[in-house]
Homo-oligomer: A and B are copies of this chain.
Amino acid sequence: MSTHASSHQYFISRPIYSYPDFNVENECSGRTALRLIKSIFPVTDWLFRYPVREWLLSDIISGVSTGLVSSLQGLAYALLVSVSPVYGLYSAFFPIIPYFIFGTSRHVSVGPFPVTCLMVGSVVMTLTPDDDFLVPLNISGVNETTVDVEAREAQRIVIACSMTVLIGLIQVIMGLLQVGFLVRYLSDPLVGGFTTAAALHVFISQLKTILSVPTNLHADRYIRRHSKCDFPHVWALVDFSPPFGFFEFNAKFQHKIPVSIPIELIVTVVATGISYAVDLESRYGASTVRSIPRGFASPSLPDQGVFWKTLEPGFSTAVVGYAVAVSVAKVYAAKNDYAINGNQELIAFGISNVFSGCFSSFVASTALSRTAVQASTGGKTQVAGVISATVVMVVILALGQLLEPLQKSVLAGVVIANLRGMFLQVLDVLVLWRQNRADCLIWIATCLASVVLGLDVGLLTGLAFEICTVVFRTQFPTCSTLGSIPHTDIYRNVKGYKNIVEVAGVKIFKCNSPIYFANIDYFKEQLKKAVGFDAVQVFKKRNKALKKIQKLMKKEKLKTSKNGVVSAVSLCQENKGFEGEGDVVRVGPGERADLHLDWASKLPVPVNVPRVQIHSLVLDFSAVSFLDVVAVKALRLVVKEFVRLNVRVFIAGCDGTMVKNMESLSFFDEAVTKDLLFLSVHDAVLFIRRGEADGSLQNPALRSKTVKRFPLATVCSK
């Protein structure tokens, strides 16, 4: 009864009070179709349950603030793409709508991101060199050429938009292939280094605009000749101040005021007013926004020819845009306890880019600063995003023309003021250095490569470097000799613990990483160091000794006793105790197989055979996660090398997958059987101890001690 009542109430209360819980439906209803629709269109999962009373007001407040920032940033970031500012407004509007439907982040503010804008911009600049747009200009009889700015602008916007569609397609394809996980390769240090380098690139590109360095000499000369201003560089100083105003103001008062003052907006409005009043453009030749056409551009299909030309930078821009957006989204998701679906995000951003690319917009991602505004002013869902888009639409449809006198240098100031956060990442380097050298090096390498080689090649270089560091970290694994902690079955590194004892006659060797082509040599070297002898060398020496002994036996200077131990024929003074044993048999040549030499005792021939102090070697593979072809070949050889010295080899701690791995790599054969596998090191040691006890294994270290008193064989020094 009670159960029924509560479940009944549960269904009543849910639609109104509870916030979207992606899992609830799955647990309760199990209707696959509905679940599918919800996973494809995440908006359906939460919009119908949107708590209007509680959240709508804060979403509206947040949306309006974000919309204002968004319009301004849109105008500014258009400079980075080298297109007219109005396209930035489009870019701040169009991508939000598809993301509202397909996105899974509630806090991200979708729109232009300076780094991706610059990446698109550099492609645009490369593909539209001024030389392609020269038209003859006839001024007072002198034949000159000038750049057809309008044609260039038209071409640029076609390229930027086509590339945006391409980026969107790449993202959608990646999303459908479910390769969102690959973005994990863009680790935090890598993204940090990359965005810092990108910020530097953006800064340099905008410094040009702020300082009014003429980027277009033809037009500039034309304007100067016809304007009344003889000192255009005087104006540069005036242009120069506003962005630094932002910096100073924000830095000084940030900690005093709870809500960040929209200083950018104030400066923009004031600057526009001054520019309009003084008529900066025509009187001083200042570069202003000039024209913001009212309304939207009509949709157009992308130029497919551009696709092929921009495939490579398009790919890196797609990856960067997505990676930045997802990392920002994840931060806010973690703060607000909800989950981001990586592959769905790829599809959402992809569709946004394809859609907005068809409406004369350029690539969308997110800007950290804008997302921060949206979240800090109380944005709860993407409803705030839609409202910010509405604000942008109002700017496009009604307020645009008011912004026409705004100087471009002010916009450049807006861009630079927004780079602050990215530049501050430099401080991470110090922290990283203390924490982890490898991660710090990734940061530095990516940053340097991106500064020197350009953003796309730099990103690739950083990635390659990062992947190499992973391999490098596994190439020199920590190998250790284990000892047992007395009275326990725990075996630990003999160097790390006090009162730890090595098992007599047994060497336990642990390797702390997968064993594969890059570290197999290092593994062998460490093993050699751990056991204290070179198995190949020992075997060679023993063979040499055997040969000499055989030679001496041929010459009848040596004989073997019944139990196979070699002894001298003529007895030495010291060997009197040995005399009593009597029955010495002669061994003919070719009977070498019968020779059982006690290698621990002194040999009757002058060969310096290194002592082997162990009879068993246990390889602890509990930390070895895989082997490859090269490693297996070498390991089998290692096992055989030890076995021929009568050192038994055991492998402990392999789990099921490792054993399967070894089987498929045909590690086991007649000589190397599965008998050498043990569940744990302690099991192997217990097995060895039992072997010692019943005599099938002998401890040469112990034996050599007892033997020393009665040397079994010495060459007589006649």
Contacts and interface: CB of A to CB of B under 8 A. Distances in A.
A536 B340 CA distance: 12
B606 A6 contact: yes
A495 B657 CA distance: 11
A56 interface: no
Nearest to A497: B656
Given A2-B711, A18-B544, A628 B438 contact: yes
A514 B517 contact: no
A602 B3 CA distance: 9
B537 A23 contact: yes
Contact of A628 (B2, B436, B536): B436
Contacts of A2: 572, 574, 602, 711, 714, 717
Contacts of A516: 187, 470
A247 B73 CA distance: 72
A496 B664 CA distance: 18
Interface string A464-476: 1011101101110
Contacts of A606: 6-7, 9-10, 12-14
A512 interface: yes
A594 interface: no
Interface stretch (A303-311, A348-356, A380-388, A485-493): A485-493
Contact of A665 (B436, B512, B522, B626): B436
Interface in A7-42: 7-10, 12-14, 17-19, 21, 23-24, 27-28
B629 A680 contact: no
Given A6-B602, A717-B2, A184 B521 contact: yes
A261 B247 CA distance: 84
A540 interface: yes
Contacts of A656: 493, 495-496
B436 A629 contact: yes
Nearest to A192: B629
A188 interface: yes
Nearest to A665: B435
A323 to B, nearest CB: 12
Interface string A444-470: 000000000000000000001011101
A390 interface: no
* Identical copies in the complex: 2
A133 interface: no
Given A10-B606, A337-B539, A474-B474, A5 B514 contact: no
A432 B181 contact: no
Given A517-B184, A574-B2, A679-B492, A622 B623 contact: yes
A477 to B, nearest CB: 6
Interface in A697-718: 711, 714-715, 717
A540 B21 CA distance: 10
A185 interface: yes
A339 interface: yes
A324 to B, nearest CB: 16
Given A337-B540, A478-B625, A478-B657, A608 B490 contact: no
Nearest to A715: B6
Contact of A490 (B13, B573, B680): B680
Contacts of A410: none
Contacts of A521: 181, 184
Contact of A184 (B470, B477, B518, B624): B518
Contacts of A435: 629, 632, 664-666
Given A6-B602, A517-B184, A629 B337 contact: no
Nearest to A183: B521
Given A606-B10, A717-B2, A187 B470 contact: no
A536 B478 contact: no
Interface string A501-523: 00000000000111011111110
11 contacts: A2-B602, A6-B602, A9-B717, A13-B606, A23-B537, A436-B661, A473-B625, A478-B657, A490-B680, A496-B655, A622-B622
Given A337-B540, A339-B534, A492-B655, 19 more contacts: A2-B602, A6-B606, A10-B608, A18-B607, A19-B544, A21-B540, A184-B517, A187-B516, A187-B517, A187-B630, A188-B629, A334-B637, A436-B665, A439-B629, A473-B625, A478-B657, A490-B680, A512-B657, A622-B623
Leading 8 A-B pairs by shortest Cβ distance:
A187-B517, A10-B606, A5-B717, A496-B656, A623-B623, A9-B606, A512-B625, A439-B629
